[in-house]
Amino acid sequence: MRWTVIDSPIGDLTLAVDETGLCRLNFGATEHPLAADPLLTDAAEQLKAYFAGELQDFTLPLSVRTGSTFERAVWQQLTRIPYGEMQTYGEVAKIVGDAGAARAVGTACNRNPIAIVVPCHRVVGAGGKMVGFGGGIPTKRHLLELEARISLETMWT
């Protein structure tokens, strides 16, 4: 894997790519040696555009090599949650075929290897409650508020 760290409005983000695509996006800096790579550059540029409110859909190739069948189903569903919208853990559980697995959805979100691009921040507790996020609740709120603001601005232009 090749790694880089980028600065963002929510702090340092660590990105990693392999021969297939983006395979990690973690909050915070890394201890791994940093490298230059066209895919890392593209990922950094797309994230910069996302934080600037100029990009709503990432077009990066992804490489997911971990996770159980259930976790992969959850992560796939996360990519289907539209920009600026949210689903509850229970709704995601129902969509992936196990209506009683809301806690397991939370665990899958916590294990999501490609945060932001695979938008686990769009999953909230019942009633829209801000719960559980690897980057912290303030970061989750920041991402959701960014998307809500851009969605409203786009609606009125």
At a CB cut-off of 8 Å and minimum separation 6, what does 68 contact? none
Distance of alpha carbon 130 from alpha carbon 136, whole angstroms:
10
CA distance 40 to 16: 7
Write the single-letter amino acid at 43.
A
Place of tokens 């665990």: 107
Enzyme catalytic residues: 120
